Amino acid sequence: MNTYTIDATNKKIGRVASEAATLLMGKNRTDFERNAAPKVTVTITNTSKADIHEKKRVEKEYVSYSGYPGGIITQSLEKMIDSKGYSEVFRNAVYGMLPSNKLKTIMMKNLVITE
């Protein structure tokens, strides 16, 4: 099992997330298979030291829908960091960059995020 460590200090969220998604999918390996999740572990460290612009903290919104009428919930990046921490922000970013299939949950289990 391969382990990769990504240091998020002074890096943008998207750059770190795209690198993590590529490693989780196994696109950097010579034995890449689209229909199989590789046995890798990706660790993202120092997420609280990431470079996030103040404008993005205020204006970026995460939207979720409960399925009920009037059930749209919007939350700014700043409030998400306060309530769930930086790890949830990075987890959402990586989750959105992985392919939407049955392997997505398996790949997400191989992601470890520390603040």
Does the structure show a pLDDT above 90 at 97? yes
53-57 contacts at long range (C-beta below 8 A, 24 or more positions apart)? 57/81
C-beta of residue 39 within 8 angstroms of C-beta of residue 1:
yes
Whole-number pLDDT of residue 112: 97
Whole-number pLDDT of residue 8: 97
* Structure tokens belonging to residue 108: 């997400």
Does the structure show a pLDDT above 90 at 58? yes
All domains in the chain, ordered by first residue: 2-51+85-113 (3.90.1180.10)
Average pLDDT of the segment spanning 68-90: 97
- What is the pLDDT of the chain when averaged over all its residues? 96
- Tell me the whole-structure pTM to 2 decimals: 0.93
